[in-house]
Amino acid sequence: MDDKRQRARVQGAWARPAKNTSRPAPVPTAAQPQCWRSDQVMPDKKFTYEDPTEVNRRVPEPRIIEKEGCYDISTAPSGVSRLRLFPLFIDPKEADWMFEQLRSEIPWTQKTNLGPDGPYTEPRLTSWYGDIPYTYSSSTLRANSHWHPLLTALKDRIEEVTGYTFNSLLCNLYRHEKDSIDWHSDDEPALRNNPVIASLSFGETRVFQMRKKPPPEDHGDYMYVDRVHVPLDHGSLLLMEGATQNDWQHRVPKEYHDRRPRINLTFRTIFPN
């Protein structure tokens, strides 16, 4: 990325003419123009190099994760941030009919949040399953306490494979390329410290982007942070564990060419109070 801040700040300066020069520089007089003719001798000058005062920082290329595996994306005092990707968690044929059922049978709604510039409607549809309502961005999603049987079956299958248990689910429907979710971490107090999030995707592939939170000395500047991109395909499962929600943010950005609908289910564990 071309950015002014990327340029090396090399400082140099024209040194003054050496004191004991054998060729004295001609002094311009009123009769002489204030420029040098080709037959005149230039004053003896040297270019002196000084070390750059600032380190040249590069914007790192995003790391692309698309193969099945377990990836430690960072290690910090807060712990290891770990992703586990299962690209074909659901067989594509099975995923096809699941997608259709979820799209038509989940009670989708469009939530209105309160941001710094006032209320705004989310650019996607959502539905929340759990024992208690879910509050984020200063507004609350009513809980569907009666789980759709397909959602229960998917939760059971994920619990069996991962060894984790979940009691809540946020469903997201991205209707087209303009639907998105902005940078955030799943770090609401009700999720407690180091929550495990299991994210199951159906339909159109969209890129799940992650960026590491910057160190305090960068004062909230995300320019040079590490980035990870995970294209989430039809039937894929992504598990986020450890310090991932503490140390990283994620989003699914808008796209600029046609995209078919996509459903994402994020299973979580909510602790009341």
Question: Would you count residue 106 as binding ligand AKG (CB under 6 A)?
Answer: no
Among residues 74, 60, 76, the alpha carbon closest in space to that of 225 is found at 60
Site size toward ligand AKG (CB under 6 A) is: 11
Question: Would you count residue 199 as binding ligand AKG (CB under 6 A)?
Answer: yes
Secondary structure element (H or E) that encloses residue 212, with its range: strand 206-212
Question: Would you count residue 212 as binding ligand AKG (CB under 6 A)?
Answer: no
Phi and psi (nearest 5°) for 266?
A: -110, 110
Q: Residue 114 in contact with residue 128, Cβ under 8 Å?
A: no
Question: Would you count residue 170 as binding ligand AKG (CB under 6 A)?
Answer: yes
Q: Residue 111 is encoded by which pair of tokens?
A: 């939530």
Q: What is the distance between the alpha carbons of residues 179 and 151, in angstroms, rounded to a whole number? A: 23
Q: Residue 38 is encoded by which pair of tokens?
A: 């080709």
Q: Residue length, the chain?
A: 273
Question: Would you count residue 232 as binding ligand AKG (CB under 6 A)?
Answer: yes
List 148, 155, 212, 250, residue binding ligand AKG (CB under 6 A)? 250
Q: How far is the CB of 57 from ligand AKG (least distance, A)?
A: 28
Q: What is the distance between the alpha carbons of residues 259 and 26, in angstroms, rounded to a whole number? A: 72
Within 112-243, residue ranges assigned H as helices are 149-162
- The strand ranges marked E within 79-130 are 79-86, 112-115, 118-121, 125-129
Q: How far is the CB of 127 from ligand AKG (least distance, A)?
A: 11
Q: How far is the CB of 170 from ligand AKG (least distance, A)?
A: 5
List 181, 198, 239, 240, residue binding ligand AKG (CB under 6 A)? 181
Question: Would you count residue 151 as binding ligand AKG (CB under 6 A)?
Answer: no
Q: Which is nearer to ligand AKG, 25 or 207 (CB)?
A: 207
Q: Which is nearer to ligand AKG, 56 or 138 (CB)?
A: 138
CA gyration radius for the chain?
Answer: 29
Question: Would you count residue 74 as binding ligand AKG (CB under 6 A)?
Answer: no
Q: How far is the CB of 8 from ligand AKG (least distance, A)?
A: 37
Question: Would you count residue 172 as binding ligand AKG (CB under 6 A)?
Answer: yes
Give residues in contact with ligand AKG (CB under 6 A): 170, 172, 181, 186, 199, 208, 232, 250, 252, 264, 266
